[in-house]
A and B are shown apart, each in its own frame.
Chain A
Amino acid sequence: MARESEEPGMAKASKVKRQRKKKPKENKTRTVHANLLYDNAKGEENPNRNYANNKIKTTKYTVLSFLPKNLFEQFHRFANVYFVFIALLNFVPVVNAFQPELALAPVVFILSVTAIKDLWEDYRRHRSDQEINHMDCLVYNRAERRYTERYWKEVRVGDFIRLRCNEILPADVLLLSSSDPDRLCHIETATLDGETNLKQRQVVRSFFDLDCDFDPLKYNGIIECEKPNNDLNRFRGYIIHRSGRRDALYKENLLLRGCTIRNTEEAVGIVIYAGHETKAMLNNNGPRYKRSKLERQMNVDVFWCVIILLVMCLFAAVGHGLWMFQYGDKRPVFDVLSPEGTDLSPIMSAIYLFLTMIIVFQVLIPISLFVSIEIVKICQVYFIHQDMDLYDEETDSHLQCRALNITEDLGQMQYIFSDKTGTLTENKMVFRRCTVAGVEYSHDANARRLAMYQEMDSEEEDCTSHGGTLPRRDSVTSHQSARVVLRSQSTKSHRRTGSRAEAKRASILSKHTAFSSPMEKDITPDPQLLDKVNECSSQMDFMRFHNQPMSQLPSDLADIIDFFIALTICNTVVVSSPNQPRQKVRMRFELKSPVKTIEDFIKRFTPSRLTSGSNSSSSSSLITNRSSNRGCSSLLSSPSAESTLTKLDEEQSPQGMEHSFGPVPPCYNGNAWNLEDGELRYEAESPDEAALVYAARAYKCSLVGRLPDQVTVELPHLGKLSFELLHTLCFDSTRKRMSVVVRHPLTDQITVYTKGADSAIMDLIRPPDTGSSKGKRQKKIVSRTQNYLNLYAADGLRTLCIAKKILSKEQYACWLQRHLQAETAIQGREELLFDSALRLETNLQLLGATGIEDRLQDGVPETIASLRKAGLQIWVLTGDKQETAVNIAYACKLLDPEEEILTLNADSQEACALLLEESLHYIQAKFLCSSTDQAAKAFHSNFAPFEIYPSSSPSSSSHTTPFTVLQLGLVIDGRTLAYALDKSLEDKFLAVARSCRSVLCCRSTPLQKSMVVKLVRNKLKVMTLAIGDGANDVSMIQVADVGVGISGQEGMQAVMASDFALPRFRYLQKLLLVHGHWCYSRLANMILYFFYKNAMFVALIFWYQFYCGFSGSAMIDQWYLIFFNLMFSAFPQLITGTLDKDVSAETLQQLPQLYVNGQNSEEYKPYMFWMNMIDAFYQSLVCFFIPYFAYADSDVDLFTWGTPITTLALLTILVHLGIETKTWTWMNWLSIAFSTALFFTVALCYNASCPTCYTPSNPYWTMQRLLQDPLFYLLCVITPVAALLPRYFYRACQGTLFPTPVQVGRQLDKLPTETRRNILSLRRVKAGSALSPKPPFLSLSKPSPKGCNKKDLRSFPSSETSQGPALQMDEQGQRSPLGPADSNKGPLDLYAIVPTEKDTLPYTKDTPKLPEEPRPPSTKDSECLGKTLEASDVSLSGWITSTPLLSQTGSVQLNLPPAGDSQCVKYTRNSDQRLKSDHSIHPAQRTEQGAEQSLHTTL
């Protein structure tokens, strides 16, 4: 808007003025001249010289800069700086402990390993850069006066490039010409935003009338546009022609780098942004670096290690000072004076010693830990990549880990936030049923066929997708282009937008028409309906033949044919032929554009008095403009002062028409493929549309062509009919419907076909006049359709209503006038258009409704069930409407028919607050009644609401303690969510939500999604995982601790933002339960082991200080000391850290409960660090003192005594690892053997190599002598045994007496498969039997935002102290329906967080804390509660009728109609008997029944 209003003013600005302005302006805009004009002017004069060229370089380093830059980057890591500091400290003679050069070795090693890794990565980047830079494209060459092949990197800003179909854009290009007659160019942006449907781009308006032969030489404009930015959806600028005329440029004119040209044979454009300045490149953010929870925890312990180190050094320093002090002035003969020959005072030597000790004890800070963790993580990622179970055959893609360093977080997730469409569902819409004129056609055959598809799903789709992949073309050119596509796709031209897999997938998908799997395309028509359609159309044919008016058609038949016509044309589907995918099919019978002007209207329709001129729609938006082209010629020519343009324009029009008659562009004329009618492909913006068009086609009512101004439909008997398309009122989410206005070719009436959500359409149906029979019929149709709609929704189908309206010419004219005004309005155009649409879509006549299934992905319910068993809270955040979302939630077992549903719908902040408060009360009450009789379940007392509710301050809620999850589901809509996310309410909202088993947020915006995730993550301090597939999930994915993208139909945007990309939702199960668990437990164990190992080793030296006057000498040779971590003990732990499996994959999946292990961080708790430290100190004591006493009082020398200690320590450490290793593969054996062998080999070689080189230790021949010493072997036997006895005993005891769940899982592993299966199935049976009792039907209705807040607050005073025991009694009766369920479980079942989960393991007896029971509420309160519960005052809100909550037997509805009449909150409870009777009612009627019942109880 603003842009347009600016324009005239800017145009007026004289050139001179602009020149002056240029300097300050240059900061904001970029000016692009055509390069051709400056071809001879080298360098200096080229105005585009300052812009980046198209050569991309994503490498970080150059040959020269590598070393300094890489080192600089590595020193950002604090640990590296620390180790370098220590190494340098060694060069100070007073404090040095080791040979300085040797002390550098570990640091150098660590730094170089990282450097080599970086170098390799950078090299790979460099290679792929090269590949991309050397791709070809056609650039106009002035000298040769034609387009010549050039490398991408040679493209410069201002070049003209020609693009052919299926080529990838090398840079951001302003579209100047297109072979498409509509001056459009279709691009596919899958690599950019992942959307596989085609986008239309328009030629810049001033070049509209040029045809294919755009001559770059004649171009003389100057483009001024924005500076490069990363906003894909924004581009502004204008082009200044020599004449001084300016034309605005929009994002519709810009083709972005990385997109693929489709459907358009040829396009020419000028490069605006190149290389790194393209929007695609600016959008490439590097991979994300996250720090995992485990690593954060580890860093705390590293910090502790530092403290321990300092304490030890301090201790030694003080000890040394004292030791020196005791000799007083008389220095002993062994006290070496300083080089100057002077005494060092005890204090000075203590200070020096402190520094020396830091060097000696440096091993305590595990230098190799960081490197080892990285190595292990890389291996883990590799294994996850390689997992066959995570490979999707259909798409030939597997899981991708995009973030390398948070694999272990997968094992610690607590909350999952999931998108619905495309994540839980396939996002493949399948037509299932429809109802026309009140008659339901159940499409049984279709359902059967779908069932069949489900079985043979994978093979089928695989075949077809490959059929689609192979280019069935013979011509060389097309071959070439295909090759280009494949190659360029494979070069990862946009690396970070996705890997090769994605690129390839995208190319498969793009060849294969979007949104059309065989499942959607082949629809078995319902025979009855098919007959009717046939009958109908034959009658119409007959009537047309006999010139009878169509109105004589029986109304039901007319409805049927209208229904299908509406399905066929009320959409924006583009038709393409199969052998030339994405080539538009054009069948133009007449040339008429949509009505654009009143004159047009007058010309075409009966002249009327409406002659008041309205301006041409020069500023119409693309939505309407998409269909405007030819009609715009007048407006184009008017401001155009350029003769050539005008001339071209005039010449071109007829030409273009001729051209456009050809159904297939000439380039592909040689093609021998016959266009079969049924083989047309449809490309839709949404999968629903495609599904409906395919459905209509199954009834021989097929869309064969779409042009901006007309739609061609082929009907049986009638042949091809062209509907003149007058307007398209596009879908928007507020109206929730779309309409087309057409002129019916048979009746010549102006007809409006509307398609939309049932809630939207049903309100717009013309109220039938009950008088006439027609009206009665209408009424019947409406009520019946409503019935069926409810039924569909209950089945989880997406429902759409189809309606039509016939306009008289006068009505139309009347509407048109205002509509055109709206279209041409400058201010508030959007609103005006919206109003205009609202005016049109009234008084509709209902034709019917369709039920489309968005199939759940395979295994979704199972996955959700097992994830939930694993203790994960699953929230679904969807943009879908509440009804659909709820039904899908039921279908995927997110909501359980047994659980009660809290529905929060509020219209205002206060209402929302009130609702939340009530929910809390309700939960409180429910909690009380479910917990009072179960003392054993007392650990429920950490019940969050109680903590949060009183103060509603975040600090009061204990975040770490487990909180209760009730058998409740929470459904909240977007608007209420917005209120609930408000600062004042978020705590309450969380309190409610966290105690619900599942939460469903409908109609939520992307921002809300991320806010919810952020809220939960920050307030509850839990690990969150967000999973989604579309662009709307990106923000949520980025906010969560772990973001998972589904590399599904909606493409790559979610994947780009994600840490892990999955082909399917169901893979999440294995990813989390198996790989997450493994990664977590492996890494946790490895880190603990590392700490242990280093502490144990360092403590040996520490003990020795007591025997050497705290002088910092070490009995362990410096070589061993330095290489112990790096070499001798490094490999086994890496192998174990990579390969160890505490429980087998099968058991982990069968017993999801084992996942709790990671959630509670049970492998690595803070106390475990200290336990390990204590163990380390114990072991080092043993390893030190056994040799000490064994050699005491002998003539042993220091290193002959120190070497056995090193050996013993190594053996002990290795055996310790052996105890901690759960599975022994040959690699474990090998690594341990290798480590031992390596140590002895190195020691022997080292001790034999040089008699003088290794001052001061100089351990020549020590090892050799030791190996001859029997004492050495005796020590080797006794020491590890004694050292490891406690740990071994502890493990054995624990394994025998208190096995953890994981250990039980391992025991299950050991059993033969059959026994295991029996055990597991037994457990399931037990679980099933306990499921019978049903919870009560509870309805909580909140009629008004204001009202009895006071009363409520009174009845639930905020302090929990005042709650007495009385409610217990009161609640007894109410609780009874829950009773059987709960009592079944018995006191053993402490683990059951969710009451329904009978199949939790009984071994959980050792679950530690049994927190105190909550205090029941006071008598007064309970009475009040009882009263409110008994009162049966329900205000039934409107949506109950439209929401078929059939399967929800227990449901709590908290509703806040905007203008409620009742002013009080009531809790209503239906009796159980009623509930049971309710159950027996046939599902179809149940909604109504339920609704009526509620009404009945409203009293």
Chain B
Amino acid sequence: MGKVKGKSGPLARRPDNSAFKQQRLPAWSPMLTANTVLPFFYLMALICMLLGVWLLLTVQSTQEIKLDYTEAGTCDICFEKRKNVSNAAQTCTCTVVFPIKKALKGDVFFYYGLQNFHQNLRRYMDSRDDGQMVGRKTNLKNPSSYCEPFTKNQNGLPIAPCGAVANSIFNDSFTLTYHGSSGPSIRVPLLRKGITWYTDKNVKYRNPKNDNMTLAQVFEGTAQPLYWQKPVYELDPLDPTNNGFINDDLIVWMREAAFPNFKKLYGVLYRASQPFTKGLPAGNYTINISYNFPVQYFQGRKEVVLTTLTWFGGQNHFLPVAYLVTSCLILLIAILLTVAWWKFGKNGKRMEE
């Protein structure tokens, strides 16, 4: 026994007199009473207040223009057209005119928005094959079962990119034209590249290794998704490097939105030339829409959003307001507590004794 315990003698089993074993570790035991809590409350209220005010000021400086084009302008024709599935293959373009009363300064971001489109459905979200998108040849020809029922087309050819997500890609396209008060209409230059996460474009989405083959060759033996009008390797006719799985629009679409009402980045204002160097100047704008995406089935709306951003995101007043409200609440509570403590504090102290 002595051997095991390393000590023997009369008090061999005496427990160690260490602070830990005797549960006497030095400890800070805060008391949640008015005296200790009130300073904290006031401090928190102050901090929240300051942050709130600061954020509010920041948000105030942003501008946002939302344009629901579902049935706006000439798009009502297209809207009706898309109601019928048999017209899916027909093209339809429409124009919406809108004014910008106050110039959007700085970087302007062009979003398309969808309402009531549930990209966050569990089975919809699962219906994709990341292995395929990352360029694995095996997955290209044998898409994962997650993609069911969008793995093979009627001919048994594997679909690339497979799955419901890719299948339902948003396929409207936009051109924005500026009609300045003087001078001709100028097409607003939009940067359609670099709108994805860097990691997505470079890591998560890769085309299959092509070994000097063209993309078309690589994708030979695969079929385009059911609802697509063109194959994946011809998504961007202008820029051959923006095709296949690394097409920016595809990547943006594949990043499933969190809410049924969402917007996705379409492009960023290219500010290299006049009059867009400082953003979008005030004036009339037309937007030409290649109207393909049907939203009737789900009572959806489509919109275009032009906005400038702050350092913490778009024009969203919620956060500053939340800060301010919280700050007020804390202050209110703090005052209540102060009053209570003032009135009954002595009582409490007496109890203590």
Contact = CB atoms under 8 A, between A and B. Distances in A.
A500 B123 CA distance: 61
A1304 B128 contact: no
A387 interface: yes
Contacts of A397: 13
Interface string B1-33: 100000000111111110001110111111111
Interface in B187-234: 197, 199-200, 203-204, 227
Contact of B344 (A327, A1270, A1297): A1297
Chain A CB count within 10 A is highest, among B16, B117, B125, B314, for B125
Nearest to B66: A1193
A388 B22 contact: yes
A630 interface: no
Contacts of B323: 1274, 1278
A272 B319 CA distance: 85
Interface in B273-329: 294, 297-298, 311-314, 316, 318-319, 322-323, 326, 329
B55 A1195 contact: no
Contacts of B136: 1252
A393 B148 CA distance: 74
Interface string A1179-1213: 00000001011111111111011100000000000
B121 A1113 contact: yes
Contact of B37 (A1111, A1288, A1304): A1288
B199 A1261 contact: yes
Nearest to B136: A1252
A330 B33 CA distance: 61
A1112 B118 contact: no
A334 interface: yes
B134 A1251 contact: yes
Interface stretch (B68-76, B96-104, B172-180, B257-265): B257-265
Interface stretch (A438-446, A941-949, A1222-1230, A1374-1382): A1222-1230
B22 to A, nearest CB: 6
Contacts of B55: 1274
Nearest to B352: A1307
B266 to A, nearest CB: 10
A336 B51 contact: no
B236 interface: no
B140 interface: no
A1198 B256 contact: yes
Given A327-B298, A338-B149, A1107-B259, A1306 B351 contact: no
Contact of B30 (A1115, A1224, A1258): A1224
A120 to B, nearest CB: 17
B204 A1252 contact: yes
B42 interface: no
B26 A1285 contact: no
A1224 B28 contact: yes
B124 interface: yes
A1081 to B, nearest CB: 13
B107 interface: no
Given A1145-B23, A1251-B204, A1295 B199 contact: no
B31 A334 contact: no
Interface string A1391-1409: 0000000000011010000
B124 A334 contact: yes
Contacts of A1196: 257-258, 262
Contacts, number: 285
Contacts of A1271: 312-313, 319
Given A1281-B44, A1288-B32, A1295-B32, A1111 B1 contact: no
Contact of A388 (B14, B314, B337): B14
B329 to A, nearest CB: 6
A1327 to B, nearest CB: 15
A1108 B121 contact: yes
A1195 B15 contact: no
Contact of A385 (B15, B257, B351): B15
A1256 B128 contact: yes
Contacts of A1299: 33, 348, 351-352
A940 B316 CA distance: 62
B23 A1310 contact: no
Nearest to B120: A1108
Interface in B117-163: 117-131, 133-134, 136, 144-146, 148-149
Given A97-B122, A1274-B312, A1281-B326, A1193 B261 contact: yes
B341 interface: yes
A332 B293 CA distance: 12
B46 to A, nearest CB: 12
A1227 B348 contact: no
Contacts of A387: 15, 22-23
Contact of B319 (A462, A1112, A1251, A1278): A1278
A606 interface: no
A97 B125 CA distance: 12
A1111 B121 contact: yes
A1278 B47 CA distance: 10
Nearest to B305: A1193
A351 to B, nearest CB: 15
Given A339-B149, A1310-B31, A1190 B316 contact: yes
A337 interface: yes
Contact of A327 (B33, B297, B316, B337): B297
A1321 to B, nearest CB: 12
B340 interface: yes
A1475 to B, nearest CB: 37
Contacts of B37: 1288, 1292, 1295-1296
Interface string A537-575: 000000000000000000000000000000000000000
A1304 B352 contact: yes
A1256 B29 contact: no
A1197 B256 contact: yes
A1310 B31 CA distance: 9
A648 interface: no
Given A1193-B263, A1310-B29, A1111 B257 contact: no
A1319 interface: yes
Contacts of B12: 396
Given A333-B294, A1193-B261, A1296-B340, A1260 B199 contact: yes
A334 B348 contact: no
16 contacts: A331-B297, A336-B121, A383-B21, A396-B13, A1107-B259, A1108-B121, A1109-B260, A1111-B118, A1193-B314, A1198-B257, A1258-B204, A1265-B197, A1274-B312, A1274-B319, A1285-B330, A1308-B352
Interface of A: 97, 327, 330-341, 356, 383, 385-388, 391, 393, 396-398, 462, 466, 486, 490, 500-501, 504, 1107-1109, 1111-1113, 1115, 1139, 1141, 1145, 1186, 1188-1198, 1200-1202, 1219, 1222-1227, 1251-1252, 1255-1256, 1258, 1260-1261, 1265, 1269-1271, 1274-1275, 1277-1278, 1281-1282, 1285, 1288-1289, 1291-1297, 1299, 1303-1304, 1306-1310, 1319, 1402-1403, 1405
CB-based closest 7 A-B pairs: A1113-B122, A339-B148, A332-B298, A1223-B27, A1189-B318, A1292-B37, A1252-B130
Interface of B: 1, 10-17, 21-23, 25-35, 37, 44, 48, 51, 55, 111, 117-131, 133-134, 136, 144-146, 148-149, 164, 167-168, 197, 199-200, 203-204, 227, 255-265, 294, 297-298, 311-314, 316, 318-319, 322-323, 326, 329-330, 333, 337, 340-341, 344-345, 347-348, 351-353
